Structures are given as C-alpha cells and as structure tokens.
Amino acid sequence: MDQIKDVYVLDDEIKRLKNQNQLLEEYEGPVYNHIFRKKRGQAVLDIGCNNGMKTVERFDRKEIESVTGIEYHKELVAFANTRYKGEKFVFYQADLEDSGLEMVLKKDMKEKKITGYDVINISFVLMHLKEPEKLLCRLKKYLKKNGTMMIIDAEDRFSTMVPDEQKRMKLFLDICQRDPLSGNRHSGEKIKRYLKKSGYHKIVVHSKCVNAKEKEKEKKELIFDTFFSYLPLDYAYLCETEPEDSDYFGIKRKVKQHYAIFRKEFVEKSVYVACGVMIFTCCR
C-alpha cells in the first residue's frame, strides 16, 4: 500500500484541507488576483488537485476559461468530475512522477486546442514528491511563454512560537518531520534553487509564513489545525500499518502526552505563532 498517497482520501484530511484553504486565502488571494488581472480566456493547470474543491474555489473566476486538475487518486478524480466537471473544469488521474502525466496533458491540450497553460498551480504537492525538481523541469514546456507558475509549499524553518519556554513548537516540528505522511517539511527552501536550475525566470517569493498575533484566537485555531491536527491520526495509522517500527509507538505516546497542552498554549496563551508556508511565482 502506498501510504503517502492513500492518506489523502481520508475524511479528516479533506476536512483539514478545507481549514487550510480558509487560512491561506488571505495570503494567496492577492497573488492570484495579480496573476489573473492580465486577460480573459486563461487556461489553468492545477497539479495535485485532491477532490477538486479547492481547484474550483480558487479558479472559478471570470478571467479563466478552462481548468484541468491532475490527481493521483482515482476516487478523488471521480468525485471531482462528478461534482464539478463541465465547460470549465475537468479532472484527470495521473501520477506526477511517471510518464502518464505527459499523455494526459497532451490529450487535454489537443482537446482544448491550446499550446500550453497560462497558469500552472502546484500547491502543497512538491513536498510529497520523490523528485520535485524533475516535475518542475518537465512542466516547463507546458507553461505558455508569458504564463505564470504558482507554487505553495511548506517550510518549517519559518515556524515559531514566542514565548515557548517548554520548547513545544520544536518538539512538534520534530514530530512532523519524523512523520512520512506529512511530506518534506523543508521543501520550500529548495524550490527557488530548483526553479533557477530548471531555467525559470522572474522568481518571486510572496510570503514565507502564516502567522497570528497573541489575541487572534480563531486564526491560531486554523493554523494549529492546518499544521498539527493530523499528527494523532497519522501516528495511530503508522503504528497500525508498520507495527515492527517501535519508533512510531514512542512518538505516538509523545503526541498523546503533549498534544492537548501544546494546542492550549498555541491557541489560548499570549503567544505569537507562525508556521512556514512559502508562496512563489515564476515565469518561463
């Protein structure tokens, strides 16, 4: 079983992604507005689109004519097509790390009579790939000459909680890092280098973290939920599926011991919090 990919069909994960979307709107919204200001009739490619909900939320706008979502999971693609397929949206199943992706993109471009996409969107996907640089390189030829690639990815280097005398943020960042289901937590810092190496230009970093001041309780709840709420479930799942790995049992115990108090400190105490999320745009 491919755990890394299978976790995305779980209801809890879909709920978590919904909260993540609400949180990110403030940061990504202005960047999308800037990208789409240019012209009407744009074609968008959304890479790693999950069940299509966020794809529709992000790209159901008048400047966009067509949106193609690519997702590994057949069930998620079927859900997305049943719910959203129409004149504007279509979803295909493909593994981003094998050659099936090219076939799907060529077919889609032929059907739409386009030579490339105006916008390629890759949100929280590179951190889950074995070879993210390879994908960026392969996608370059599908981005139109004046098109824009938008990337959103995690980077725990920018995560902090102040004050944090018990160093609970560090403990939980370490726990995230040990969790194979949560992807590469230091993916963000490598992206600029990958983009440069793959020959992209006009690379802009729009933001590095989401943050909340001491009194912004609701926002802190969203941040906590987005970045840490999956840990109890992930470690329960890992202990069940990999019972021979005793480390997972130790971490599961640690999560159980510190989770509630960490959440309380994070949300209710007078602390400033930030969690690393990098937003990039670049051109061909």
Ligand X SMILES: C[S@@+](CC[C@H](N)C(=O)[O-])C[C@H]1O[C@@H](n2cnc3c(N)ncnc32)[C@H](O)[C@@H]1O
CA pair distance 11, 33, nearest whole angstrom: 30
> Do 151 and 279 touch, CB atoms closer than 8 A?
yes
Residue nearest to ligand X (CB): 48
Alpha-carbon distances of 119 from 67, 176, 237, rounded to whole Å: 9, 31, 36
24 or 273: CB nearest ligand X? 24
Residue 112, SS3 per DSSP: helix
73 or 85: CB nearest ligand X? 73
Binding stretches for ligand X (CB under 6 A): 5, 8, 17, 48-50, 54, 71-73, 95-97, 123-125, 128-129
Sign for the pseudo-dihedral over CA of 125, 130, 132, 134: negative
108 or 164: CB nearest ligand X? 108
15 or 34: CB nearest ligand X? 15
> Do 136 and 273 touch, CB atoms closer than 8 A?
no
> Do 204 and 282 touch, CB atoms closer than 8 A?
yes
Q: Nearest approach, Cβ of 162 to ligand X (angstroms)?
A: 27
> Do 26 and 100 touch, CB atoms closer than 8 A?
no
8 or 172: CB nearest ligand X? 8
Q: Nearest approach, Cβ of 280 to ligand X (angstroms)?
A: 14
Beta bridge partners of 93: 71
Q: Nearest approach, Cβ of 165 to ligand X (angstroms)?
A: 32
* Contacts made by residues 247-254, CB under 8 angstroms, sequence distance 24+: 247/178, 251/175, 251/178, 251/179, 254/171, 254/175
Q: Nearest approach, Cβ of 93 to ligand X (angstroms)?
A: 8
17 or 273: CB nearest ligand X? 17
* Contacts made by residues 242-247, CB under 8 angstroms, sequence distance 24+: 247/178
